[in-house]
Amino acid sequence: MVSPRRAQTIHGFGASGAWWPHDLIRFSPETRERVADLLFGPDGLALSVYRYNLGGGGVGVTRPSRAPETFMVGPGAYDWSRDPGGRFFLRRAAAMGVPVLVGFVNSAPATWTTNGRCCGGALRPGTEADYARYLVDVVLELRAREGATLSYVSPMNEPDDSFPAAIQEGMAVPLFQRLVLVRAVAAELARRAPFAMVIGDESSRVLRQFLRRAPVWLGLGGAARVGAVVHHLYDFPSDLPLRAAHLVGAVFRKPLWMSEICCFDSRTGGYGQQYDPTMAGAMPLANLVWRSLALAGHAAFHWWLALSPEIGADPSADPAAATRPNDLGWNDGLVYYDPRHAENGNERLYVTKRFWALANFSRYVRPGAVRHAVRGLPDDVRLLAFRTADGWALVAIANAAEGACRLRVRVPAEPGTAPGAATAYETSAARDLEPVAAPDLDAGGLLTLTLPAQSVTTVLVPVSSASG
């Protein structure tokens, strides 16, 4: 049964533009538009959140693909022609109507770090105000030049890890400096770009980092400055830490976001190296969404990389390799491309089942939808229910390894309204978010549907006035 009581209001489902735009800007215009359609179009993910990676310049980073350009040439001097790939896809996201655009930073430009690099160091104390002015300079120019209005700015990403191995940008921000930084960015945004809000602190793990540190800087005044409290899920926490994270948002009366997750092993559900584009690789993502929203009460769920070259195989030599799991790639993307594209000219895009499973949520559960709790389900089925502007959107996750499951669920009756004909869209081994037979729906709002094993199904129930 779907509870009539409201839970959280949804802010959106998203993914990031970290790294891959540097490669994709070299692809043909047709391929780039295909990517934009897949991410932002109504027949693709229809993302409601896009995270733009505001690069620090990559000083010291050993992997060029993970060293995004910075616009800053020197203090107060900029080259706005830099980062053509990032700007292109940010511009397309804005033009195609993505409602929430976020700018996030892995490292400040090297001039403001303790080691003069974009990895392995920390934000230099006393530079917070200068760094904040730089961030707002970029926010204003992106709005003026690219037509992209950022709603949120995240000035630190995983501040508990500086990435000293130098494989990517990273910058430590000690606990009490996080408060200083949030205050500086919030003040600068309020003064020059009041359409945007600061968010933080994007801790990488829940149990040992977010729960221990975020309440400190939030409690010292940070909560009044942020538009959302944000963290990642890289410890793949159990139920109890997720419920405790929910309390952090509730105590400080701020929406809680899950802004980054990837890289699970589909055989264990925990962190690990693997490439699995099959339905087995989609089910952990669907269940992560359920745990994120139902247990932690997150208002937003953001996957990490929208695109990735980490296939772990050569799809040009063996086209079927992109359809098979292997232990050399990573489950870090939703869509993949050939890591050797510059050598062989292969611009084919490889869409995973993970992509379609996320689309079961992102395409139909839009910002402003309200989640309602669900009770009385079988052990191997999870269900999320949302009251949308048009009616109800139910997303059912069938985890059984084999055999179909028959599910009956009642949506709340609303005075003066009547449910319309239901429609259903299934992602499974056989289908990619495709229409399936409509579930039975009686006049009292009781739905009866059949779910295949290892599937994600979205059911839409329109609601209209009874007189109509």
The predicted structure's pLDDT at residue 443:
80
Q: How many CB atoms lie within 10 A of CB 144?
A: 10
pLDDT at 89 over 80: yes
CATH of the domain at 438: 2.60.40.1180
Q: What is the pTM of this model?
A: 0.96
Is residue 440 a part of any domain in this protein? Answer: yes
Residue 112 CA to residue 172 CA, distance in Å, equals 12
Is residue 368 a part of any domain in this protein? Answer: no
The predicted structure's pLDDT at residue 413:
82
Is residue 370 a part of any domain in this protein? Answer: no
Residue 225 CA to residue 222 CA, distance in Å, equals 5
Instruction: Assign 441 a pLDDT band (cuts: 50, 70, 90).
Output: confident
Tokens 């079927």 locate to: 320
- As a residue count, the chain comes to 468
Instruction: Assign 364 a pLDDT band (cuts: 50, 70, 90).
Output: very high
Domain finish residue from 314, 330, 362:
362
Task: Please indicate, yes or no, whether residues 259 and 383 belong to a single structural domain of this protein.
Answer: no
Residue 276 CA to residue 342 CA, distance in Å, equals 24
HSE at residue 410, side-chain half, CA atoms within 13 A, is 11
Residue 15 CA to residue 17 CA, distance in Å, equals 7
Cis peptide preceding 201, ω within 30 of 0: yes
The predicted structure's pLDDT at residue 155:
98
Task: Please indicate, yes or no, whether residues 230 and 326 belong to a single structural domain of this protein.
Answer: yes
Alpha-carbon 404 to chain mean position:
30
Tell me the per-residue pLDDT of 231-244, one tens digit each, with 9 for 90 and over. Answer: 999 999 999 999 99
Task: Please indicate, yes or no, whether residues 383 and 308 belong to a single structural domain of this protein.
Answer: no
Task: Please indicate, yes or no, whether residues 143 and 234 belong to a single structural domain of this protein.
Answer: yes
Residue-range definition of the domain harbouring residue 289: 2-362
Tokens 């772990």 locate to: 312
Mean per-residue pLDDT of the chain: 96
Helix (H, G, I), strand (E, B) or coil at 319: helix
Separate counts of helices (H) and strands (E) for the chain: 10, 26
Instruction: Assign 224 a pLDDT band (cuts: 50, 70, 90).
Output: very high
| CA distances (Å), origin 404, targets 267, 269, 281, 386, 407 | 21, 22, 19, 24, 10
Tell me the per-residue pLDDT of 385-413, one tens digit each, with 9 for 90 and over. Answer: 999 999 999 999 999 999 999 999 998 88
Q: How many CB atoms lie within 10 A of CB 340?
A: 15
**pLDDT average, residue stretch 148-177:** 97
Is residue 367 a part of any domain in this protein? Answer: no
Domain finish residue from 330, 362, 394:
362
CATH of the domain at 284: 3.20.20.80
Residue 179 CA to residue 175 CA, distance in Å, equals 7
Domain finish residue from 296, 327, 362:
362
Q: Give the H/E segment covering residue 262.
A: none
pLDDT at 209 over 60: yes
DSSP state of 327: S
How many domains in the chain?
A: 2
Task: Please indicate, yes or no, whether residues 145 and 275 belong to a single structural domain of this protein.
Answer: yes
Helix (H, G, I), strand (E, B) or coil at 216: helix
Tell me the per-residue pLDDT of 286-338, one tens digit each, with 9 for 90 and over. Answer: 999 999 999 999 999 999 999 999 999 999 999 999 999 999 999 999 999 99
Residue 171 CA to residue 51 CA, distance in Å, equals 18
Task: Please indicate, yes or no, whether residues 313 and 431 belong to a single structural domain of this protein.
Answer: no
> Crossing angle, helix 175-192 and helix 128-146, to 10 degrees?
40
